[in-house]
Each structure stands twice: as C-alpha cells, then as structure tokens.
Structure 1
Amino acid sequence: MILITEDLRARLLANAATEVEADHVPVLKLFNPVGAATWLLSQLDADGDTLFGLCDLGFGFPELGSVSLAELQSVKGPLGLGVERDLFFKASFPLSVYAEVARLAGHITQEEQPLRQAASRLEIPTSELPPDAAERPRR
C-alpha cells in the first residue's frame, strides 16, 4: 500500500513549510493492522522522510514527535503485513486536541465527546470545530 499519496505529501510538506508554528489538523492516520501502533501525522520535512505528529506505539504513552517514513515503510509484521493508511480517516480537530485526549486515555482515540471536551479546555474556538453530531439533524 502507498502510505502517502502525492496529494497527502503536498499537504504534509505545506504544513511543515509554514513560517509560523501552527497547530495543524492531522493529514493522515497510519496504523499497524496486527498491533496497537497508530500515528496521526500533520507534517513532512523537506527531506521527504521525517514526519511529525502524534505517535502511539501501544505502550500507553502516546507522544508528539517525529518518525521516519522509510522506517514505517520497512516494517513487516506477521504474515508480511506492513503499516497501512486509514483510507477513511478525516481529522476534525487540531493535533493538540488529539494529543491531549491521548495523554489522558493512554492511546489515540477518535471519540467525539472527549475530543470536544479537550478542545473546550484548550480554548479552541468552536467556529473552527466541525458541527456536533448530536446537534446535526437526522434524516
């Protein structure tokens, strides 16, 4: 599987190239299909290899940091399975919100309620957040 498409690569590089330090929304989610490791990534350095984001190796201590794309691509687990990209991932919050919830939960989560609560605690303006699923009209 191609971990980073050209479109994703362009978005990751653009985030890394910003002059001002910013709290970017994660661009992609990678995961180990036979393990607990997950990465929410928001930036790719100009070297084309160093990714930055929220890294959770499944030991209960997710952290913000860098990871090598080449190393992720070289991982081969049982049955030869490698790291995969979550094709359906769409981030709704800045990376700091995911990091705060992951720190409290001990793992990366996409559960909306704790993410919204963390966004509120971190004073992320609600105009920048997606509509609350509970408030959306049902069809």
Structure 2
Amino acid sequence: MTLLTDRQRERMLANGCAREADLLTGDETTDFVPVVKLFCPWGAATWLLSELDPENPDIAFGLCDLGVGCPELGNVSLSELESIRSPGGLGVERDLHFYADKTLFAYADEAKRLGHINVRGR
C-alpha cells in the first residue's frame, strides 16, 4: 500500500510550504490538522503526519508514537517507514478511516498526558 495518496501528498506539501513561510516571518503558531495516520498492524507504533518538507518531500513532520510510552513531535522519513517489515512481511499501513478531529498540537498534548496517541474512529 502506498503510504500517501496524491491528494494527501499535495496537502502535506502545501502545509510544509506554509510552515516555511511562517518561520521566515517569525510566526511559529500555525497548527495544522493531521492529514494522515500511519500505523504498524503488528504493534503499537502510530504516526499522525501533517506536513512534508518542500525541499525534501521524503521527510514528514508529525506526532510519532513508537508504542513505548513517549510520543513526540518530530520528523520521519517516509522511505524508511515504507521499508519497515514485520517478521511476517507486513508493512506500515495508512488508516483508510482516519478522520482528524483536532489539531496536531492538541493530539500531542493529549498523547503526552496519556502516554500514547488517542485516535477515535468516525
């Protein structure tokens, strides 16, 4: 499965461009809604991603939770996520039913309190 659809990639690149413009003006308050949720079907790792780096679109920004109790905001390589395989050969998947109901920083605040990302279905 492709981790990002064309539409998600376009939206995340637009968010990345907007973030760069904000940083140039000193405005670091923009808080995007996550565009995609990725997860490991064999474990607890989850990524809520909102932006792609316009200069290196392999690098995504979002909330990363490896399932060990300390989710954090940061960057992740999409090609590295695509290369991950379970012992049975499963790969990282995109949650086809994900719907963001709050901003990335709101998810991050909640995840820090809970020790994991909490995402409800539609």
User: Is TM more than 0.5 here?
Assistant: yes
Partner of 1:125: none
Over aligned residue pairs, what C-alpha RMSD do you find?
Answer: 1.2
Q: Distance in 2 between matches of 1:111 and 1:56?
A: 16
Runs of 5+ consecutive residues of structure 2 not aligned to the other structure: 23-27
> How far has the Cα of 1:108 moved from its partner?
0.1
Higher RCO by CA contacts (8 Å cutoff, separation 6 or greater)? 2
The one-letter amino acid paired with 1:97 is A
- Contact 1:52 / 1:64 at 8 angstroms: preserved in 2? yes
Structure with a larger share of its residues in strand: 2
Say whether 1:37 aligns with 2:60. no
State which of 23, 32, 42 in structure 1 corresponds to 2:31: 23
Task: Indicate the SS of the match to 2:88.
Answer: helix
Q: TM-score, normalised by structure 2?
A: 0.89
- Contact 1:55 / 1:63 at 8 angstroms: preserved in 2? yes
Task: Indicate the SS of the match to 2:57.
Answer: coil
> How far has the Cα of 1:92 moved from its partner?
1.2
Percent of pairs identical after alignment?
A: 57
Partner of 2:82: 73
Q: Distance in 1 between matches of 2:103 and 2:57?
A: 22
- Contact 1:3 / 1:85 at 8 angstroms: preserved in 2? yes
Runs (4 or more) in structure 1 with deviation over 6 Å come to: none
> How far has the Cα of 1:89 moved from its partner?
0.3
Runs of 5+ consecutive residues of structure 1 not aligned to the other structure: 113-139
Larger Rg: 1
What does 1:57-136 align with in structure 2 at a 5 Å threshold?
57-111=66-120
Q: TM-score, normalised by structure 1?
A: 0.78
Q: Distance in 1 between matches of 2:36 and 2:48?
A: 6
> How far has the Cα of 1:78 moved from its partner?
2.3
Structure 1 residues 46-101: Cα deviation after superposition (integer angstroms, max 9, x where no partner)? 21100000000001000000000010000001210000000000101111100000
Task: Indicate the SS of the match to 2:118.
Answer: coil
- Contact 1:34 / 1:78 at 8 angstroms: preserved in 2? no
